[in-house]
Amino acid sequence: MSDTPAMTLSAKDEAAKTNALIAYGLMVLGLFTGIFWIVGAIWAMVKKGDAYGTLFEDHYSNIIKTFWWGLGLSIISFILLFVIVGYFLGLAVWIWSIYRVVKGLANLTSNKPYG
């Protein structure tokens, strides 16, 4: 048994965690379908205000930043496809996005902030 008492979350923290989990889940689906990537980011943008002041507030910033950076770099990689570099950049963006989402999920399910 652990000597550390279990952490009790407030109702606001629980709601923020649930909404972040939904956003991360949608983004995981979006890694393979695309459209859910956008839906997950929009969900996070809409629910971010509700998470203000909670333990999980920075997860929303992570989701939104991952979306915008991923979108921008994906557009650049698409433009660079004819130079072959775009394929490598696209793969790197995809792997980076997976890392950010998995790290976020790991921290969220452990009741930790993203950062």
Query: How many domains does one find in the chain?
Result: 1
CA distance 70 to 49: 22
CA distance 23 to 100: 13
Tens of pLDDT, residue by residue over 29-81, are 998 988 999 999 999 999 999 999 999 999 999 999 999 999 999 999 999 99
Q: Higher confidence at residue 5 or residue 6?
A: 6
**DSSP codes joined into one string, 31-75:** HHHSHHHHHHHHHHHHHGGGGTTSTTHHHHHHHHHHHHHHHHHHH
Assess if residue 8 is contained within a domain. no
What's the domain range around 29? 13-48+56-109
Assess if residue 66 is contained within a domain. yes
In the chain, the percentage of residues whose pLDDT exceeds 70 is 95
pTM, 2 dp: 0.87
